């Protein structure tokens, strides 16, 4: 006969075997949750945000160079460059060719810089805008040569829609997007169509908020009118130049957010074409 001895533990003490058994059945997922991954770019942006807030820099103050920032943060220069591009997109800093990077925003918004999620998103926005600037003038040039009469009618219809919706920014932007998509369809290049479809639709989703603060919709309408006129006249070079001008002015308009200040123009620097 086998005798089993029952151990009685004092009150307040747990049976270690019972504890071990409980741990054995407890899901490992709850004991070892996955590590939260934070991208290098996001960390760089957070550090730069804190730096700008704590240093109390005045407008016109020069920031450390890319090389210095990379050394201090112990990251690569391309990563620092991407983070600075995001801050530049929001109008917080400006780069002067051959002279470094300077603080361009007024002191007030520094305490309310875009949060990490918005800044990470802006990296995509910067790249999309860059791609659009490179591609869309070419698309316009091809459309001037290849657009059918029906293509031109669609482009004209959306231009008319923009003109009629100057007081309704949301509808204005919808016609704006359709105007550019119609030009893209008219270019006759399937590769460019696919690329521009992704760029335009994604970019316009990001820009809905920015569009609410366009300084002058009539100015944007004028640029679109010039683009259409060059398409209707079948002038490829003129269409390309008109679209490039639109890209340049849109970049300036996107920097005019509430609480932001347009960087002062350096002496000798020509005004952008309007």
For residue 258, pLDDT over 80 is answered with no
- pLDDT higher for 21 or 65? 65
Contact status, residue 187 vs residue 142, Cβ threshold 8 Å: yes
Q: How far is CA 134 from the centre of its chain?
A: 16
Q: Give the per-residue pLDDT at 269.
A: 38
pLDDT, average across residues 228-253: 91
Phi, psi of 173 (to 5 degrees): -65, -35
pLDDT, average across residues 8-34: 54
Q: Give the per-residue pLDDT at 30.
A: 62
pLDDT digits (tens, 9 = 90+) for 242-255: 999 998 887 765 55
Contact status, residue 263 vs residue 94, Cβ threshold 8 Å: yes
Q: Give the per-residue pLDDT at 261.
A: 40
For residue 125, pLDDT over 80 is answered with no
- Domains identified in the chain and CATH numbers: 40-112 (1.10.10.10), 116-254 (1.20.120.530)
Contact status, residue 189 vs residue 142, Cβ threshold 8 Å: yes
Contact status, residue 196 vs residue 136, Cβ threshold 8 Å: yes
Phi, psi of 189 (to 5 degrees): -120, 115
pLDDT digits (tens, 9 = 90+) for 179-228: 999 999 999 999 998 889 888 877 776 655 555 555 578 889 999 999 99
pLDDT, average across residues 85-103: 76
3-state secondary structure of 199: helix
Q: Give the per-residue pLDDT at 237.
A: 97
């Amino acid at each position: 006969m086998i005798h089993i001895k029952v151990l009685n533990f004092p009150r307040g003490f747990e049976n270690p075997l019972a504890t071990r058994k409980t741990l054995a059945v407890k899901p490992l997922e709850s004991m070892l949750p996955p590590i939260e991954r934070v991208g290098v770019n996001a960390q760089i942006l957070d550090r730069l945000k804190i730096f700008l807030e704590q240093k109390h820099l005045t407008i016109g103050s020069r920031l450390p160079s890319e090389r210095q920032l990379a050394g201090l943060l112990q990251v690569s220069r391309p990563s620092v460059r991407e983070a600075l591009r995001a801050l530049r997109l929001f109008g917080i800093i400006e780069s002067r060719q051959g002279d470094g990077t300077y603080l361009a925003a007024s002191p007030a918004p520094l305490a309310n810089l875009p949060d990490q999620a918005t800044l990470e998103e802006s990296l995509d926005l910067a790249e999309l805008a860059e791609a659009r600037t490179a591609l869309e003038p070419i698309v316009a040039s091809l459309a001037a040569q290849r657009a059918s009469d029906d293509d031109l009618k669609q482009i004209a219809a959306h231009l008319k829609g923009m003109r009629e919706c100057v007081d309704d920014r949301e509808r204005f932007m919808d016609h704006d997007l359709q105007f550019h998509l119609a030009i893209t369809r008219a270019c006759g290049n399937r590769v460019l169509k696919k690329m521009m479809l992704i760029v335009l639709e994604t970019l316009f989703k990001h820009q809905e908020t920015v569009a609410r603060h366009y300084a002058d919709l009539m100015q944007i309408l004028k640029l679109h009118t010039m683009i259409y006129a060059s398409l209707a006249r079948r002038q490829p070079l003129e269409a390309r130049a008109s679209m490039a001008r639109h890209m340049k002015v849109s970049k300036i308009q996107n920097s005019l957010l509430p609480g932001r200040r347009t960087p002062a123009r350096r002496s000798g620097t020509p005004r952008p074409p309007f």
